[in-house]
Amino acid sequence: MDREFLIDLLADFGPVTIRKMFSGYGISADGINFALALRAGLFFRADAATIPDYEAEGSRPFQYSTRAKTVTVNSYWELPARLFDDSEDLVRWARAALAAAQRAKVKRPKKKAASKPAKKAAAKKPAAKKRQAKKATKRAVR
């Protein structure tokens, strides 16, 4: 799938942003990624509320293989093939995928801003101890 095909496919949905991602594209609306277009197909964001719809259509979750195993990503499911010819239903599924992505964003806990400085301070302590140990060793050698 190329960029122009995706823009045409989602034209009735509304404005989307399409960015290069992995071996394909990430598709977002309102700054939220809700779809992936990869060599393996088009995958929409899904969650507990929408996965039954994908299962009823016989769709599968996104999978990729590493050297050691096959990884299944249950948050993205393959778009049923019939939707490529039904723009009205495609829009409904795209809106459901965007809603699932929005729900997932809300569930994520906010990162603590204070955690980074604490890590830096913790990382500096061993270096300071090493310097003190070197000074003590130099004193003892003299």
- Whether residue 19 contacts residue 28, with contact meaning beta carbons closer than 8 Å, is answered with yes
Count of Cβ atoms closer than 10 Å to residue 130 Cβ: 10
Residue 92 and residue 48 share a domain: yes
Q: What is the pLDDT of residue 94?
A: 97
Residue 28 and residue 58 share a domain: yes
Q: What is the pLDDT of residue 33?
A: 95
Residue 58 and residue 119 share a domain: no
Q: Beta strands of the chain (E only): which ranges?
A: 17-21, 24-29, 32-38, 41-45, 61-65, 70-78
CATH number of the domain residue 50 falls in: 3.30.1460.30
Low-confidence ranges of the chain (pLDDT < 70): 108-142
Range of 81's domain? 3-107
Residue 124 and residue 73 share a domain: no
Burial 30-44 (b: 16+ CB within 10 A, else e): eebbbbbbbeeebbb
Q: pTM of this prediction?
A: 0.72
Q: What is the pLDDT of residue 129?
A: 65
Q: What is the pLDDT of residue 35?
A: 96
Q: What is the pLDDT of residue 79?
A: 96
Q: What is the pLDDT of residue 82?
A: 95
Any residues with CB less than 8 A from the CB of 1 and at least 6 apart, and which? 24, 25, 37, 42
Count of domains for the chain: 2
